[in-house]
Amino acid sequence: MPPRYKAPRGTQDVVPQDSWRWQRLETAFREVCRRYAYQEIRTPLFEETELFARGVGEGTELVHKQMYTFGDQGGRSLTLRAEGTAPVVRAYLEHNLGAVGGTQKLYYICPIFRYERPQAGRYRQHHQLGVEAIGSPGPEIDAEVIALFHDFLGEIKLEGAVAHLSSIGCPQCRPALSEALREFFAPHIGEMCEFCQARYESNPLRILDCKVPEDVELRTGAPSALDHLCEACRDHFAGVRAALDALGIPHQVDPTIVRGLDYYSRTAFEVVHPGLGAKDVLMGGGRYDGLAEMLGGPPTPGIGFGSGVERLLLVLQQQESRQLPVAQVPEASQRQVVDFYIAVAVPEARARALELAHFLRGSGIAVDLDHAHKSLSAQMRDASRRDARFTVLVGPDELGAGTVTLRHMDTGKQETMAPEAAGRRAAEPYVADLLARLAGRQTAAGEWEDARNALVHGFDLYSKLAADAPRRYLAHLAATQAELGNVLAHLGEAVQAREHLRRSLQAIQSPSFIASADLLARVSKAWEDSLQRVRESWDPEELRRMQDAVAAWFRSTDPAAVRRVSATALEALRQPADSEQTGGGRPSEEQS
């Protein structure tokens, strides 16, 4: 019998199989915002309808056709959040956030509600991440906002997006543009949709944003806002472009950009991606220097952007399906992997299992156990289904001795130990991951000796973990080896660097090698950096072969090809290097 109720049209449920992708995206955005010194702001799910009518514009399609508006029991007209900027500026004014001076840099992640035809990556309730920088009129902040999104795309490894940039002028130069547009569209006014006919008098620039196919054709050859900028707007636009060039952020000038809301002025920008088809905008934003004044506040410059989470995820999934990395597995934290599954062999052990679960959870370890009184074999199947790293078996013998039996789910190996020892064993991957993160920060800070120490300890832990569970930890070991090789190369210990790079390459040839895209990126970056640093101490021909092999490895989309290419790289590294100066890394397989 089919379910009686389903999610309303234009909405979706984000189930556990997919929620890790959302969490990964949101975490990456929060991290990039932190680097740029943006702070989170959260506004109500609904606002007074007048906020959107005044801020967004009475003549906009959003206000006329797409808002979810309702009256409450007090007779007030309220609207579900229809866009992100107006509520943030309202909160900025209400709480006098500008009183501290300087630029208020805010970000948000929130649902947006618009009644429109559902399509790929677009829902009636969709989710948006965005930033607002309020208080600075200069072009540098415009470039910074675009740079933030550029870095965010790099953080999530989304490729192929292109930034488009334009300027739509200010109140001083807008009248001349409006007059030129009225003159251009006058012969066709009767052929346009009703909204464009209304916009002809109130705001002809908005005609350029119409999505009706017939109106799109009519605007071919229309006057460009870039040709009607005043001197101040031209200088501002040139300043934005110069700042983007200084930051090394590629962009294209696109005079057709017209943001769909009335509050925009000067800088307007979009990031587009071909994977979205005809409606290819991944992010849109611009400057809104007059919005605060429209909402009853003092003149306050501002700029921001919004990007749809669903559209970002759609493009990422398309990209992943094309690339097919060695194994499409998310990190443990993304899959909500269970560290321990506690299985009981006799009913008398259930109280002990609950007590043990509480103890382990208090230590920060993810634990699950059976609550349906299943048989021991059914519990073991459940542990496997949950992708548990270990199963903790509690039976009559363990109850009597005050111990537990720890079963490695990847290898079937079993050990009897105290519960506290089991907790330490479960913590090892977290410690190893923390060491890798610490080494990354130390490397970025140039603290090479400290980074080496952290990586050596991480290498020891991952070697132990990979021996017990190769499919789970071999890729982590390969990444740590490559990063240790990179650090040793920087310290001038070329022999040790080459040894760890060899081991890293050997690891990916194992049939047990399974890696996420993040781990593959860590390996490739470490290889690339270390190859650059040992350029002078390696034979040039060997170095060339190694670089070609690594580049081909990272570009590869076929697991078998990855391993074939890595074999070529291994061959390139087999030349003896006895003449090179050795250093303080781990010099041989035996010592490891």
Q: What is the mean pLDDT of residues 524-531?
A: 72
Residue 513 domain-assigned (yes or no): yes
User: How sure is the predictor about 131, in pLDDT bands with cuts at 50, 70 and 90?
Assistant: very high
Predicted pLDDT of residue 515:
67
What whole-number distance in Å separates Cα of residue 328 and Cα of residue 324? 7
Predicted pLDDT of residue 448:
86
Clarify whether residues 519 and 408 are in a common domain: no
Residue 91 domain-assigned (yes or no): yes
28-42, 171-185, 187-201, 313-327: the lowest-pLDDT one: 313-327
Clarify whether residues 266 and 233 are in a common domain: yes
Clarify whether residues 308 and 352 are in a common domain: no
Clarify whether residues 282 and 342 are in a common domain: no
Clarify whether residues 297 and 403 are in a common domain: no
Clarify whether residues 456 and 394 are in a common domain: no
pLDDT at 288 over 90: yes
What whole-number distance in Å separates Cα of residue 291 and Cα of residue 564? 58
Greater model confidence, 291 or 426: 291
Task: Check which CATH number belongs to the domain holding 108 and give it.
Answer: 3.30.930.10
Clarify whether residues 129 and 275 are in a common domain: yes
Predicted pLDDT of residue 578:
38
Predicted pLDDT of residue 567:
55
Which 8-state DSSP code applies to residue 536?
T
Instruction: Name residue, tokens 């080459």.
Output: 498
Q: Which of 417, 446, 471 is the last residue of a domain?
A: 417
**In 3D, which of 262, 286, 267 has the Cα closest to residue 202?**
262
Residue 590 domain-assigned (yes or no): no
Beta pairing partners, 126? 112
Residue 431 domain-assigned (yes or no): no
Q: Which residues lie closer than 8 Å to 109 by C-beta, 6 or more apart?
A: 26, 29, 30, 40, 127, 128, 129, 309
Q: What is the mean pLDDT of residues 28-54?
A: 92
pLDDT at 126 over 60: yes
Residue 207 domain-assigned (yes or no): no
User: How sure is the predictor about 30, in pLDDT bands with cuts at 50, 70 and 90?
Assistant: very high
Using a cut of 0.85, tell me whether the model's pTM lies above it. Answer: no
Clarify whether residues 131 and 244 are in a common domain: yes
Edge-to-edge strand list for the sheet holding 390-394: 367-369, 340-344, 390-394, 404-408, 414-417
Clarify whether residues 393 and 503 are in a common domain: no
Residue 538 domain-assigned (yes or no): yes
Highest mean pLDDT among 225-239, 277-291, 497-511, 574-588 belongs to 225-239
- Burial of 319 per CB tally in 10 Å (0-12, 13-18, 19+): middle
Instruction: Name residue, tokens 């923390």.
Output: 434
Q: Which of 278, 296, 321 is the last residue of a domain?
A: 321
What whole-number distance in Å separates Cα of residue 359 and Cα of residue 201? 70
Q: What is the mean pLDDT of residues 382-404?
A: 88
Report CA-CA distances (Å) from 527 to 195, 207, 272, 497, 564.
Answer: 57, 52, 31, 10, 17
16-20, 393-397, 518-522: the lowest-pLDDT one: 518-522
What whole-number distance in Å separates Cα of residue 448 and Cα of residue 273? 39
What whole-number distance in Å separates Cα of residue 255 and Cα of residue 261? 17
User: How sure is the predictor about 545, in pLDDT bands with cuts at 50, 70 and 90?
Assistant: low
Count CA atoms within 13 Å of residue 218 on its CB side: 23
What whole-number distance in Å separates Cα of residue 540 and Cα of residue 563? 24
Summarised one tens digit per residue, pLDDT across range 77-121 is: 999 999 899 999 999 999 999 988 889 999 999 999 988 877 766
Clarify whether residues 314 and 340 are in a common domain: no
Task: Give me the torsion for CA of 441, 444, 450, 454, rounded to 10°.
Answer: 50
Clarify whether residues 472 and 410 are in a common domain: no
Residue 258 domain-assigned (yes or no): yes
Count CA atoms within 13 Å of residue 297 on its CB side: 25
Clarify whether residues 54 and 160 are in a common domain: yes
Task: Check which CATH number belongs to the domain holding 395 and give it.
Answer: 3.40.50.800
Q: What is the mean pLDDT of residues 401-428?
A: 83
Summarised one tens digit per residue, pLDDT across range 53-70 is: 876 766 566 676 788 888
Q: What is the mean pLDDT of residues 257-271?
A: 80
Q: Which of 321, 348, 373 is the last residue of a domain?
A: 321
What DSSP string describes 371-405?
SS---HHHHHHHHHHTT-SEEEEE-HHHHHHT-EE
Tell me the residue range of the domain where 68 lies.
Answer: 16-173+229-321
Which 8-state DSSP code applies to residue 65?
I
For the chain, the domain total comes to 3
Residue 145 domain-assigned (yes or no): yes
